[in-house]
Structure 1
């Protein structure tokens, strides 16, 4: 499929606050008909929450002690501790054929991510089925309560996910506003299990059981991901 040109931006040593603010700008540009792709990585750690996630679902005191900022992104979902990982964000006008549905956009977005990883020798898989996390015994709570999600994005296995050996390594989220859609993916490259456990107030063993790092450096994966995204969406 051919579409209008996509502007490309890359920031491999950027500021978490500035990069997330730029995503807001990307959404505004998309509403004006301008598509853009942004690939970024942070040298310093930040704990990023989904737009509707309550801050008290993470260990705020531990984050403050460790000097790790807790900030919000414009998309939904739950928390991601990011440092030396890689994020890819795509903003499109809502008239784009691939942007029509939430599920459809996830499917299209994941294809070039998988292609880039495969080209670099990394095999990832989609989950066979989606299962709620930490479901209470049947009958004890309402259905909505039983679907309570983990505050840690990479512990929450959903359809818009890639796994490596059964552990989550890629998670995605979307934002939709009038005239525009934005989708981004977090690719876990450098698993910091001990630090993640402290930030989320969880046992380290729980982190190690659920998460897997992709054995690639940001500067290696970024150009491959950029090429795959442009080939697919342009």
Structure 2
């Protein structure tokens, strides 16, 4: 099958929204690892002024991780799938959390405006037809000195990690996807990871987009070498006349 993108991918997520939360709970450490990546943003938890964009929020698992890590920040969750977003919005949230239905490629039309102190994107970039364009958009949305955290399936480049991913897909992910009646989405998941950047390559992609202080950090458990946190900063603006 070809990889799903844009409207076709949003439609597949719409169909899978009802079973998505149940399936991800079968992944050991799924929510704990999202919280770890959210904490790695290293924003001061006691500061109420922070404004954070959760780009590709899905059913809200990443939003919950941000809300726990940043108990006073204003969080905007955004997703292209109306079905996933309905599941997210139906959950109990504090008033500081809001949701917007829009693709990551068209934030301006949806009225999403910066500056944000941070942007968080979980399991998003390997699904984008043009990740470079979205990285450039994020760079403009983040305030100078602000941060981007990407929590993503990106293989280390070692042969053993690719073999583990293939085995988990064949033995767990694809059978579960078939049981939901939405096997195409989970076949896409397998290929989207296998064909995406390695972790070092995605770090280089962030640098080319204009971010600095890029760190590629592994996550613990069975996904070591398969899932990483990517941290980066929009460079601060230099004072007028500075060299």
Give the shorter-chain TM-score range: under 0.3
If each structure's helix is expressed as a fraction of its own residues, which one has the higher value?
A: 2
Which TM-score applies when normalising by structure 2? 0.27
Point out which structure has higher relative CO (alpha carbons under 8 A, 6+ apart).
1
Q: TM-score, normalised by structure 1?
A: 0.28
